[in-house]
């Protein structure tokens, strides 16, 4: 076994403004998101703590700009197409578990959030992520 020494690197110790990321929370149940809307600043690092209080696997799927579905029949047939054409970022969490998903907020706008597991969106698993323009300094 190789012992890797993990050296604590001290980087930019004098930089006072270092990026506290925006932390969001969501609890998934059978079958909704709580809360079901979130607001974040554009371009910043976002962490969302996903807690699955449901009895089955759930997902938090942030859709790409302009992708809004009205029902699951609007989704493509394959996972590959879904990930390539519809999904900005997503993660799934087993029943009773929790996970933190980290991503960079997209441009300002309103984005749909869904659970893409079959029948869950149509059962009510829908939310909205609102991204607001980051404030410009001075
Ligand atoms: Cu679900």
pLDDT over 70 percentage in the chain: 83
Count of beta carbons in the 10 Å neighbourhood of residue 90: 19
Tally the residues of the chain. 138
* E strand or H helix that includes residue 121: helix 120-123
Return the sign of the alpha-carbon dihedral for residues 38, 42, 47, 52: positive
Residue 19, phi then psi, degrees to nearest 5 = -10, 85
The model's pTM = 0.83
Centroid of ligand 1 to alpha carbon of 111 (angstroms):
18
Q: What is the assigned CATH class of domain 22-132?
A: mainly beta
Single out the residue of 69, 116, 66 nearest to residue 90, CA to CA: 116
Centroid of ligand 1 to alpha carbon of 34 (angstroms):
12
Domain spans in the chain, listed from the N-terminal domain onward: 22-132
pLDDT score of 20 more than 70: no
51 - beta bridge partners?
27, 98
pLDDT score of 40 more than 50: yes
Centroid of ligand 1 to alpha carbon of 133 (angstroms):
30
> Which has more pLDDT, 13 or 100?
100
């Amino acid at each position: 076994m190789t012992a890797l020494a993990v050296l604590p690197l001290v980087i930019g110790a004098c930089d006072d403004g270092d990026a506290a990321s925006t932390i969001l929370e969501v609890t998934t149940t059978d079958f909704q998101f709580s809360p079901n809307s979130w607001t974040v600043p554009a371009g910043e690092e976002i962490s969302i703590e996903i807690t699955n209080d449901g009895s089955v696997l759930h997902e938090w799927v942030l859709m790409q700009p302009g992708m809004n579905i009205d029902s699951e029949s609007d989704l493509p047939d394959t996972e590959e197409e879904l990930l390539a054409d519809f999904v900005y970022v997503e993660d799934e969490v087993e029943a009773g578990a929790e996970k933190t998903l980290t991503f960079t907020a997209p441009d300002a706008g309103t984005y749909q959030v869904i659970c893409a597991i079959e029948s869950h969106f149509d059962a009510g698993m829908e939310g909205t992520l609102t991204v607001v323009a980051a404030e410009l300094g001075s």
